[in-house]
A and B are shown apart, each in its own frame.
Chain A
Amino acid sequence: MASLTHSTPHRMRRAQPMKLLTSGAGIVFVLYVLLYAIYASLQPSALSSSTFTNLVNNSVPLAIAAAGETLVVLSRGFDLSVAGVISLTNVLMAVYPQEGPFGALVSLAICLAVGGIVGAVNGWLVAILRLQAIAATLATMIVCQGLALVILDAPGGMVADWVSYELTDRLFGVLPISGLFVLAVVLAWLVFKRTNLGLGLYAVGADEQAASLSGISVIKVRFAAFVGAGMIYGLAGFMLSAQTATGNPNSGTPFLMLAFAAVALGGTSLSGGRGGLIGSILGAATLMLLQKVLFSGGVSSFYTGIFQGVVLVLAIVFGSAFARLTGRRTTA
């Protein structure tokens, strides 16, 4: 996260914890805490562990989807297939449920594989055939939506009980289990970020030609970004299925715009090269929390939209103003 202030891979290694606060993720974290404080003051039960678990369960699918989208956005791409992959994996989970913990593992593997395949197709179209990402992934999204409709033509089906009960439960009565999946994604990211591929991701996003000249395989990086993103969407579909317990061929559609909003709110530049996955996850959590705050604040439904829009803009404006004031975020 701290590394998002610099674009050259070599300087990224010297990330300092001090910079955390002024990074995109730091700012959105502060925002989240502030909103939660408001929420708790309006609704005292907000501090109970069951309310928090519900909130986490609600936020997890979007948070993971946004995390996947971040990979592609960092490499200066767009990936609309997020909506298609989530719908597709969700109907697969509901139509072909696998019972028990082992079944859950099989389901998870299927979801990751489906996402990975779609990601590979995207990677082939964008990285190798050089199609424009937004158009190519629009096409794959449409194809995935069609596949989802073929598999399940109306909402229905049942996700395996083990998945839908265990994964939405709490560990030791406090820790939401779904949150652990997010944690796993974060840990994987922290490791990946330090690999050559991870460093390449920032370099390609910041300046493709420079990255190419310094010996990074742009094709390989882009391809990997799409495949990784696809697999993470698969995980998002898996978690969504755990939460809703049934299938819906249109379940991925709402994620399209929200995922991008979460990415941007989390401080990742939509033109690539700057930002990080953790910010996006916090961004997603903030978007979901905002609904709760507006509800408990008693904002009339007609004006909820106006509030949401204004908060979105203010968050970004203050975030970047704050970053500029502290002078950490140099213009790339």
Chain B
Amino acid sequence: MTSQVDVMSKFQAEQDTRKARRIDRHTVSAIAVFVLCVVLILASRLVSPSLGSWQQVLTVLTLASFLVVLSFGQGLVILTGGLDLSLPAVITLGGVLTTTWIGNGPGAWYMLPFVLAICGGVGLASAIGIVWLKVPPFIMTMATSIIVSSAALGLTNGTPRGASPDVLLLLMKGSWLGIPAPVYFLVIFAVVGWIVQSRTVFGRYLYALGTNRDAARIAGVPITLVSVLPYVISAVCAGFVGMMLVGYANGATLRMGDNYMLPSIAAVVIGGSSILGGNGNFAGTVGGAILLTTVGTVIAAIGLEQGLRTIIEGGIILVALLLLREELFERLRGLSGKPRSGG
């Protein structure tokens, strides 16, 4: 008994100092990502005079909203040391079910949550495989992904039908005071996501789990629940992104999620989280998502052949990674950098 209390208090203390450092480092890192976005947007004036405008900021934020929601879930999974490869398939599932089952008919208010629950069920299935059957997350989510895509294909017979429910059109197409609705949504989602990840007991448990599973267990973290929930949340987020895409384009296709897999991981990692789990901050992830989208808009405006543009895109990501290197900050602040694992 005593030993457990000892361990627990020691763990808590460790957590506190860790947290202090974490906020410090990750706040700096998140700010740096945002600064980089601003610099990139301003610099894009050099590419085209119409760039670097307020309009560009709004477009970037609208397009980034998909990636922000997606990488919130992905970020939670990564925080626990996992990885979710089923996102594209679940995006498609969410989108396809929304148009085929709901469409612009009535009943959206109870059907939308129902579709999200189905998506959550997919996440739960992944989690069961990972937590109880001990299948590596990479393989388990890849397998659910293959299964879900296959099911979506069979379900729609290849051609998804139907249109978007009005409420989603409102979310994605509406605007207020000259600012598109998705931008408001992005801000609210970012704040809520940050609170969940950094200011709740659940969030703290996730960090504990990702840092050291055994220590977290001893400290009384409900390991099973905390391991399962990120996958469920991630799948619900992906399903919701499917709905957002349905609202954005007023319809669904079976490949609508394809382009989101690597970006969802990249946003999290560029935002300063470790792919090995246990550290990171949602503000940084939001910045990472916005940065990636900004790069996309700038690249789209460069008048070069695709191969060269692709090279430049890779180059910009690389430069961003080099600029956002932790050691750089630590050196800047004159800290003696403790060796950290690369991974």
* Bound Cα distance from A270 to B305, whole angstroms: 37
- Complex CA gap A132/B129 in Å reads 27
A134 at the interface (CB under 8 A from B): yes
Are A269 and B136 in contact (CB-based, < 8 A)?
Answer: yes
Picked from A131, A146, A151, the residue with its CB within 8 Å of the CB of B342 is A131
Residues of A with C-beta under 8 A to B341: 208
The answer to whether B342 touches A133 (Cβ under 8 A) is yes
Question: Is the pair B147, A310 in contact by a Cβ cutoff of 8 Å?
Answer: yes
Contact partner, B143, options A78, A132, A149, A310, Cβ 8 Å: A310
Q: Are B275 and A130 within 8 A (Cβ)?
A: no
Chain A residues with CB under 8 Å of B306's CB are 146, 149, 153
| Stretch in A6-14, A50-58, A313-321 with 4+ CB within 8 Å of B | A313-321
A132 touches B136 (CB 8 A): no
CB within 8 Å for A313 and B313 given contacts A130-B342, A131-B322? no
Given the contacts A135-B266, A138-B262, A305-B153, A127 and B314 also touching, CB distance less than 8 Å: no
User: How many residues belonging to A are interface residues under a CB distance threshold of 8 Å?
Assistant: 54
Provide the A114-130 mask, 1 if CB < 8 A to any CB of B, else 0.
00000000000111011
CB neighbours of B236 from chain A (8 A): none
CB distance from A210 to the nearest CB of B (A): 12
Does B80 make an interface contact (CB < 8 A)? no
B154 within 8 A of A: yes
The answer on a CB contact under 8 Å between A309 and B136 is no
> Is B307 a contact of A148 with CB atoms below 8 Å?
yes
Which residues on the A side are within 8 Å of B151 (C-beta)? Answer: 305-306
| Residue B317, interface by CB 8 Å | yes
Q: What B residues does A78 contact at CB under 8 A?
A: 275
Task: Tell me if A110 counts as interface (CB < 8 A to partner B).
Answer: no
Contact of A305 among B138, B147, B318, B343 (CB under 8 A): B147
Residues of B within 8 A of A129 (CB): 322, 325
| Main secondary structure on A side of the interface with B | helix
Question: Are A303's CB and B154's CB within 8 A?
Answer: yes
Q: Which residues of B contact A320 (CB under 8 A)?
A: 134
From A126, A150, A308, contact of B311 by CB (8 A): A150
Binary A-proximity of B150-161 (CB < 8 A = 1, otherwise 0): 110110000000
- Assess A146 versus B311: contact at CB under 8 Å? Given A76-B343, A303-B154, A309-B146: yes
The residue on A at minimum CB distance from B261 is A257
Residues on the A chain within 8 Å of B150, using CB = 302-306, 309
Measuring CB to CB, which residues of chain A are less than 8 angstroms from any residue of chain B? 76-78, 80, 125-127, 129-136, 138-151, 153, 208, 222, 249, 257, 260-261, 264-265, 269-271, 302-306, 308-310, 312-313, 316-317, 320
Binding site for A on B (CB under 8 A): 81, 85, 129, 133-136, 138-140, 142-147, 149-151, 153-154, 262, 265-266, 269-270, 274-276, 305-315, 317-318, 321-322, 325-327, 340-343
Contacts A/B (CB < 8 Å), 23 sampled: A80-B262, A130-B340, A131-B342, A135-B270, A139-B315, A140-B318, A142-B317, A146-B308, A146-B309, A146-B310, A146-B312, A147-B307, A147-B311, A150-B305, A264-B139, A302-B154, A303-B150, A303-B154, A305-B149, A306-B147, A309-B147, A313-B139, A313-B143
